[in-house]
C-alpha cells in the first residue's frame, strides 16, 4: 500500500490530534513534527513513532521525502507556512481560519495555485456523520430545493479572555465553522448577511469588544435563507445541530451523546447529555478529513474542502462583523469590495 | 341524527366515566342511571342531564325507550345484569371481566346469543391510538407475519389490599387486558401459557395470595410467541407499551405524556413522565369504544369487542393462574377442560 | 354551577369550532349565533342546542341574557363589533388579528377600557400543551434567563389566492401568531425586528405582493434574541416547534402526531407525520382558551390574552412588514411612530 | 510505557479484528499469529507489523517474550489451546463459548486456576456503551432493585446452514451472549430457565434440529425475572436492546445507528436503520474488552469477564436446551447435575 510522508508544523492540541489520527492510518506516515516546545512533546512523538522532532520547521520543508505538510500553528503564522510549503512543492493541510486578513488569504491561494500543490482547509464538520447524512439526502434530492437552513452552534464554555483577545471574535473564531456549513449544505454562495449580536453570557467578553450570543441571517444566491444561532455557553454541553427545510421535506439531526439510555424514575425521565466538546463530538470527523486529504494526494483528486472554501467563510465572517458594527444587512459583494478594494 | 337511549348500571368511577363520555356524544342519550348510593351521584347526574337517577336497576331494564345498558357494577353482579338485560332485549356494554367463573361467562354468552342482542366488552385498549396503529400496520402487511409480540403493562401503584382480595389477582384483574391485547395483535388464538410470577413490590400482596410482578409467555396457534411483563408498581408512572416483531419488520410504541418537551440543563436531559394512569392514558380510547358501540347499534353491525373476546381472555387468565400454581406451561385446551369439564 | 350565556358572531370554520367547544363546556351556553348564511348553519346550530340562529347580529347584542360575545367574523368587521359589544356591556372574545390598522386596534382597546368589559384575543397557541410547558419551565427558573428564542412555524399548504389577497400577508396572517408566542415566551417586549423574506413556494404568491418564506430576527428589550422561520408549504405537514435557550439550559418541543409508533422494515425506520393542520394540532388549545375566558368572566379575573397582546403583535407585524419593504432592521418604536403619528 | 507481547491463535474474522485493535493499542504488541492458512493472511499481518506469521501455534506458546495468548480458533479447539497456554504460563483471552461440553469447560477452568494465569472470555457486549450505562445506573442505585430484565437480541440474517450445523444452535451460539448479559445486569445468578422456541424464519433451520426464534424466561436467585427474545432474522438490521425495570425506575437503551438524522417528506418521517451487525455495533466494545485485558495483565488485576462467567453462561444455555426439548422450566441445579453428574 502506498503511504504519504507527512510533516506537521505545530504540536498544540490540534496538531497532536492530527498526528495521532495519522499515526493510526495505514496510508500515512508522520515523519517529522516541529514545535517551539520540543521538550514538551518529544516523548509523546517518539511513542507515536515520529522520526524527527524539531524546533525548526524548515527541516520538514526541506525533507524531500515529505510530501505533505499539516499547518497546525497559530493563525498568524499560517500564511508564512502556506507560502513556504507551496514553494517547497508540498501539499498542504491548513487549519481554519487561513488568516484574519482576507487579502492575505487571497494571496496565499494564488501562491498555492501557482505551485500546483493541493490545499485542504480544516472545516472538519463537513465530515461529521450527521451533517454528511444531510448533504447526502440533499444530493439525492430527497428534500427538494433548500429553502431554510438552520444551524445551532453553541459551546459549553467561553474560551479564556486571553484567547478572546486574539481569536478574531465569535464570528471569526466560532461562527466561521457555521458559515462553512451553511455553504456546504445550501449548495450556494451567501449573498448577504445580517447579525443580531449580544453580550448575555459574560460582560467581560463585551468589554473585550466581542459578543457571546448571536443570531445571524444569511441570504443565499439561490434564494434560500439561512439562520445560525451561536452562544459561547450552553450549560448542558456542546450543542451542534442542523436542520434543512426544502421544497421536498425537512431533515434535522440531534446531538451525539455517549449512549442512548433513557431512564425513568419517580423524579422524571432522563437522557445522557451531549458529548462534551468538539474533540469528543468530532472525533470521527477529524479522522475522516485527514483520510480524505490522504486520498486526494494518493489518487490525485481534488481536496474536499479547498482554500477557496476557507476564503469564502472568512469573507462571510468579515461581512458579518461589518453587519454587527453597522447594525444593518451587508452584502458579501460590499464586504469584499471594502476589504480587497 | 338518530340517538340511542342508554341506561347505566353502576355509577362508580368507570360508570361515571362512560356517562360523561356518552353525554358528550351527539348520538347517545343517557336516560337513566342506577346505583346503590343515589345520594352521592344525584347532583352530578342532574348536571349531565340524566332524567332518571335511581337505586333500582329494574327501572332501566323495564324502560321501553332504553335500547342499551352499560353494566359498570362490580364483577360479581355482571352475569345477573347481562341475563336480565338480554331478556329485556337490550344491547349490552359490559365492563371486563364478565365474571371470574368461566362457566358463568359461557352461560351468559349463550343467553345473549339466544336473545339476539349485542354484547360489547370493555377492552378499551384496543381503541388506543398507539395500539390501533400497530394493528393497522399489521393489517396492511407492513410487518409481515407476527413472530414475537411484547407487551409491557405496569401500574403506577398497587391497588388497596381490600381490592387485591376481591380483584381475582394480578392475572385476572390486570393482565387480562394484556391477554386481550395479545389476541388482538397476533390475529391468532393462544395455545399455551407459562407464567413466571413473583412478589417483589409488597410482601403483603404475597400474603394475600397474589403476585405483584409477572412475566408471561404465550404460544399462539399460528406459531408466534408472546411475552407480557407486568408490575403493580412503576414509580415513574403508568407504563403501557407494545412491540410487535414480524417477518417484515418491527413496530414499537412508547408511552404518552402530557407534552413533548425535552429540556437540558447542567444536571442532564429531561422529558415529561408518562401520563399518570389509565384514566389519563386511555381517555380517548374510552370515548372511541363507546362510539363504536353506538355505531354497532345504529348501523346494526358487529361490535368490535365481543363477548367471546372476554371469554377467551378469561380462559387465558385461568390457564395462566394454573401455570403459576403448577409452575409449568399449561395449554389453553387443558385449562378449558379443567374448568368446563 | 353558574354558566355564561354566549352569542357568537360569524359561523365560519372558527366560529363553528368555538360553538362546538362551548357546547361541550358545562359552564357555557351558546344562546345565539349570527351569520349571513343562516341557511348553511341552521341544522348544525339546532343540533348543538343553540336557541337563536339569525342573520342579525344586533339580536345578540340586544339580548340582556347574553353576557359575552365571540367575534368570529372577517377581520374587517372586528372593530365594529368590538365597539358595539363593548357599548352593550358584553365581554368580548375576538379572533386575531383585531384589525390590520393599528390606529383602529388602539381605538378599539380604548373603547373596551371605557366600558369596563373584558376583551380576550384569539392567540390560542399560548394554550398548547407543549408551549405551556416551556412557559412553565421558564417560570420555574429551570432555564435561567432566556437568551435565544427559536420558533418554527410552517403551514402544510398555502391558502388560496383569494385569501392571500385579503389576509394581510404572511406577516400579518401567519407570523402574527409567532410574534405573540415570542412575547409570551420571552417575557419581554420586542425592541426591533428584521425580516429576510422570499418567494420560494409559489411565484403567484409573489405576484400578489406577498412572500411565502421568511426568517425574522427579533431583538427583545431584555437583550434576548428571537428568530422565527416561516414557510407556507411544508410537504410533510404542519410544523410547529419552539426552542428556548437560556443561561440555565435549553428546551425544545417537537410536533404532535397521532401516535408514537416507530416501525422498522427492510426499507428504513418510520414514524407518523405531524398532525395535519391547526384544527388537529391545537384542538385542546382552542378548548383551553375558551375555558380560560369563561373562567375570567365567572371569577372576574384578568383574561390571559388581552387586547394589548393583540395590539403588540400587530405592531410587531407592522414593523416586520416595514423591515421587509425597506430591507433593514426596524425598531418597534419607529414603526409605532410611523403608524400612530 | 509497558507493553504486553501477544500471540493470536486463529486469524479468522474475529482473530483479525482483535489483531487490528491490538495493533492500535499503545500498550500491546502482536508479536505472532498462527493460522492454518498462512497464505491468506501473510500480507495483512505484515502490514500490521506482526513479526511471526506461522501455521504452528506452538511457536507462539514457546516464545518466552509472549505473555498472553488470544484464542480465536474454532470452538472445538479452545480447550486444547487453553490447556497448552496455561501450562506455558501465558495469560489467556478466549472467545466464547469456551466449549460446548460443560465438563470440559470446568476442567479448563481448573487448569487455568492451577497455573495461576488469567483467563478472560469474549463477552464483548459487557463493554458496549449502552449496556455499560445500564450497569452504571444500577451500581449507583438509580433504579433500585432489579425486578424485570428484558433483552432483545435479533440478528439481521441467519448464518449459513453449515454454520448452523456446528454452532451449537441458537441457544449456545447466539443467546449465550444474552445469558451473560442477564447475569451482568441482574447482579445475580440464574436459578431457572424456560424456553419457548419456534421455527418461523426458515424451515430448513428446523430440519437441522435448531430453532430460529425464541423467548426465554429466566428466574434469578434474587427473585428478579428476565426475558430474552431472539430471532435469527430482523429484516431492518441488528437489533440489540436492553431494558431493566427496578423498584426505583426503568432504563432502556435503543439501537445505535450511523447518524441521528430524522427526515420528513410527503411520504412520512424517516430515521436511519440500526448499524448492520455485530462488527459495526460492537466496534468500540471489542476495543474496550482488549484494553481491559491488557489492563488486567499490566496492573495485575482481575479480568472483568472471567472463565467462570463463560462457564455460567454455558450452563444456562444447557439448561435452556433441556427446557426447549422437555417443554418445561428447568432449574440450573438440575441441568448442572445432569451434565456434571
pLDDT given for residue B24 in this prediction: 85
Residue B303 in any domain: the answer is no
Quickly count: other Cβ atoms within 10 Å of residue C298's Cβ.
Answer: 15
Taking a contact as any Cβ pair under 8 Å apart, which residues of chain B between 185 and 204 contact chain D?
A: 194, 196, 198, 200-201
Q: Per the structure block, which three cell numbers stand in for A98?
A: 487561513
Q: Do A132 and D259 touch (CB under 8 A)?
A: yes
CB-CB: which of D148, D198, D233 is closest to B215? D148
Cα B157 from Cα B162, distance rounded (Å): 14
My answer on whether B90 and B152 are in the same domain is: no
Longest dimension (CA), chain C: 67
| C-alpha cell of residue A266 | 419517580
pLDDT of residue C161: 96
The whole domain housing B77 covers 4-117
Listed residues B117, B149, B177: the one ending a domain: B117
Q: What is the pLDDT of residue D24?
A: 85
| Statement to judge: residues A143 and A170 lie in one domain | yes
For B322-334, what is each residue's pLDDT tens digit? Answer: 999 999 999 999 9
What is the interface size between B and D, counted as CB pairs within 8 Å?
A: 103
Q: Helix (H, G, I), strand (E, B), or coil: what is residue B305? A: coil
Distance from CA of A109 to the nearest CA of D (A): 34
- Provide the CATH number for the domain around residue B264: 3.30.360.10
Place of cell 457486549: D125
- Distance, in Å, from the CA atom of A180 to the CA atom of C111, rounded to the nearest integer, reads 54
Quick check: C145 contacting A, CB < 8 Å? yes
Whether C303 is covered by a domain: the verdict is no
* Torsion region of B142: left, alpha or beta (phi above 0 gives left; psi -120 to 50 gives alpha): alpha
Cβ pair C148:A219 closer than 8 A: no
Residues C176 and C218 in one domain: yes
D64 and D139 share one domain: no
* Best mutation target, C155, C175, C191, C200, to test chain A (most A CBs within 10 A): C200
Whole-number pLDDT of residue A2: 85
Is D23 in the A-facing interface, judged by CB distances under 8 Å? no
Question: Nearest CB to A273: which of B236, B268, B273?
Answer: B268
ipTM: 0.95
How far is Cα C306 from Cα C215, in angstroms, rounded to an integer? Answer: 27
CA-to-CA dists, residue D227 to B7, C158, D114, angstroms: 45, 51, 36
Q: Is A180 on the interface with C (CB under 8 A)?
A: no
Give this prediction's pTM: 0.96
Least confident of B82-91, C37-46, C243-252: C37-46
Q: Is residue A165 part of a domain?
A: yes
Q: Contact B185/B134 with Cβ under 8 angstroms?
A: yes
* Exposed / middle / buried, residue C336 (Cβ in 10 Å: 0-12, 13-18, 19+): middle
- Quote the pLDDT of residue B1: 61
Same domain, B77 and B33: yes
In a domain, B203, yes or no: yes
Which of C269, C270, C275 should be substituted to probe chain D, the one whose Cβ sees the most D Cβ atoms within 10 Å? C269
The confidence score (pLDDT) of residue C250 equals 98
Contact predicate C151/C228, CB 8 Å = yes
Q: Are residues B101 and B135 in the same domain?
A: no
Segment D190-235, tens digit of pLDDT: 999 999 999 999 999 999 999 999 999 999 999 999 999 999 999 9
Candidates A250, A267, A331: best to mutate against C (most CBs of C within 10 A) is A250
Mean pLDDT value across residues B54-79: 96
- Residue C1: per-residue pLDDT: 61
Decide if A123 contacts A180 (C-beta within 8 A). yes
Same domain, A98 and A151: no
Q: Which residues of chain D have pLDDT under 70?
A: 1
Are B246 and B264 contained in the same domain?
yes
Are B200 and D247 in contact by the 8 Å Cβ rule? The answer is yes
Predicted local distance difference test score (pLDDT) of residue A167: 86
C139 interfaces chain B, CB cutoff of 8 Å = no
What does the pLDDT read at residue D1? 61
CB contact under 8 A, B265 and C24: no
Cβ atoms of residues D322 and D338 within 8 Å: yes
Residues of C whose CB is below 8 A from A148: 213, 215, 229, 231
* D261 has a chain C CB within 8 A of its CB: no
Q: Could you say which of A219, A234, A247 has the minimum Cβ distance to residue C250?
A: A234
- Distance from the Cα of C202 to chain D's closest Cα (Å) equals 17
Answer yes or no: do A156 and A275 share one domain: yes
Q: What is the mean pLDDT of residues B199-208?
A: 98
Q: Which residue of B has its CA nearest to D145?
A: B200
User: Does residue C299 lie in a domain region?
Assistant: no
What cell does D112 get? 487455568
Cβ atoms of D217 and B213 within 8 Å: the answer is: no
Question: Which of D117, D136, D170 corresponds to the end of one domain?
Answer: D117
**Is C73 within the bounds of a domain?**
yes
Q: For residue D299, tell me if it sits in a domain.
A: no
pLDDT-derived band at B47, boundaries 50, 70, 90: confident
The answer to whether C170 touches C324, Cβ cutoff 8 Å, is no
CA dist C196 and A224 (Å) reads 10
CB atoms within 10 A of CB C116: 9
Instruction: Give pLDDT tens digits for A1-12.
Output: 689 999 999 999
Per-residue HEC secondary structure of C221-255 comes to: CCCCEEEEEEECCCCCCCEEEEEEEECCEEEEECC
Asked whether the beta carbons of residue C148 and residue A327 sit closer than 8 angstroms, the reply is no
A229 and chain C in contact, CB less than 8 A: yes
User: Does any CB of chain C come closer than 8 Å to the CB of residue A219?
Assistant: yes
| Residue finishing a domain among C117, C152, C181 | C117
Same-domain pairing of A107 and A240? no
Counting as contact any 3 or more CB pairs under 8 A, the partners of D are A, B, C
Domain tally for chain B? 2
CA distance A214 to chain D (A): 25
- Positions in chain A whose pLDDT score sits under 70: 1
Give the one of D150, D194, D225 whose C-beta lies nearest to B213's C-beta. D225
Does residue B236 sit in the same domain as residue B166?
Answer: yes
C151 lies in some domain: yes
Cell numbers of A12, please?
498544540
pLDDT tens digits along C175-208: 999 999 999 999 999 999 999 999 999 999 999 9
What's the confidence (pLDDT) of residue D289? 98
Work out the minimum CA distance from C177 to partner chain D, whole angstroms. Answer: 24
Contact C198 A224 (CB under 8 A): yes
Is the domain of B134 the same as that of B246? yes
Q: What is the CATH number of the domain that holds B102?
A: 3.40.50.720
Output the CA–CA distances (angstroms, integers) from residue B329 to B31, C118, D211, in the order listed: 48, 69, 19
The three-point CA angle D135-D141-D142 to 5° equals 85
Percentage of residues in chain A with pLDDT exceeding 70?
Answer: 100
Q: Indicate if the pLDDT at residue B311 is higher than 70.
A: yes
Beta strand extents in chain C (DSSP E only) = 4-9, 28-34, 52-54, 68-71, 91-94, 119-121, 146-154, 190-198, 213-220, 225-231, 239-246, 249-253, 262-265, 268-271, 330-331
Amino acid at each position: 500500500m502506498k503511504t504519504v510522508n507527512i510533516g506537521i508544523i505545530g504540536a498544540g492540541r490540534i496538531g497532536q490530534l492530527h498526528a495521532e489520527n495519522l499515526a493510526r492510518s495505514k496510508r500515512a506516515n508522520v515523519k517529522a513534527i516541529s514545535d517551539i516546545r520540543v521538550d514538551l512533546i518529544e516523548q509523546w512523538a517518539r511513542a507515536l513513532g515520529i522520526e524527527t522532532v524539531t524546533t525548526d520547521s524548515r527541516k520538514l520543508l526541506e525533507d524531500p521525502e515529505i510530501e505533505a505538510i499539516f499547518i497546525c500553528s497559530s493563525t498568524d503564522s499560517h500564511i508564512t507556512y502556506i507560502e513556504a510549503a507551496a514553494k517547497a512543492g508540498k501539499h498542504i493541510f491548513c487549519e481554519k481560519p487561513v488568516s484574519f486578513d482576507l487579502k492575505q488569504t487571497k494571496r496565499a491561494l494564488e501562491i498555492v495555485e501557482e505551485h500546483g500543490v493541493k490545499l485542504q482547509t480544516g472545516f472538519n464538520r463537513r465530515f461529521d456523520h450527521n451533517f454528511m447524512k444531510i448533504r447526502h439526502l440533499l444530493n439525492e434530492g430527497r428534500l427538494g430545493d433548500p429553502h431554510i437552513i438552520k444551524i445551532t452552534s453553541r459551546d459549553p464554555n467561553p474560551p479564556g479572555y486571553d484567547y478572546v483577545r486574539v481569536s478574531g471574535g465569535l464570528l471569526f473564531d466560532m461562527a466561521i465553522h457555521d458559515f462553512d456549513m451553511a455553504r456546504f449544505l445550501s449548495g450556494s454562495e451567501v449573498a448577504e448577511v445580517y447579525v443580531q449580536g449580544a453580550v448575555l453570557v459574560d460582560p467581560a467578553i463585551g468589554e473585550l469588544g466581542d459578543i457571546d450570543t448571536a443570531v445571524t441571517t444569511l441570504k443565499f444566491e439561490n434564494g434560500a435563507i439561512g439562520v445560525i444561532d451561536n452562544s459561547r455557553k450552553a450549560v448542558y454541553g456542546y450543542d451542534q445541530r442542523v436542520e434543512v427545510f426544502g421544497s421536498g421535506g425537512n431533515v434535522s439531526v440531534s446531538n451525539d451523546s455517549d449512549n442512548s439510555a433513557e431512564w425513568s424514575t419517580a423524579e422524571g425521565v432522563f437522557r445522557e447529555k451531549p458529548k462534551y466538546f468538539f474533540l469528543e463530538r468530532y472525533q470521527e470527523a477529524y479522522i475522516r478529513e485527514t483520510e480524505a486529504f490522504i486520498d486526494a494526494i494518493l489518487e490525485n483528486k481534488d481536496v474536499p474542502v479547498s482554500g477557496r472554501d476557507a476564503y469564502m467563510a472568512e469573507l462571510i465572517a468579515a461581512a458579518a462583523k461589518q453587519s454587527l458594527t453597522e447594525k444593518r444587512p451587508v452584502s458579501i459583494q460590499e464586504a469584499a469590495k471594502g476589504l480587497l478594494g
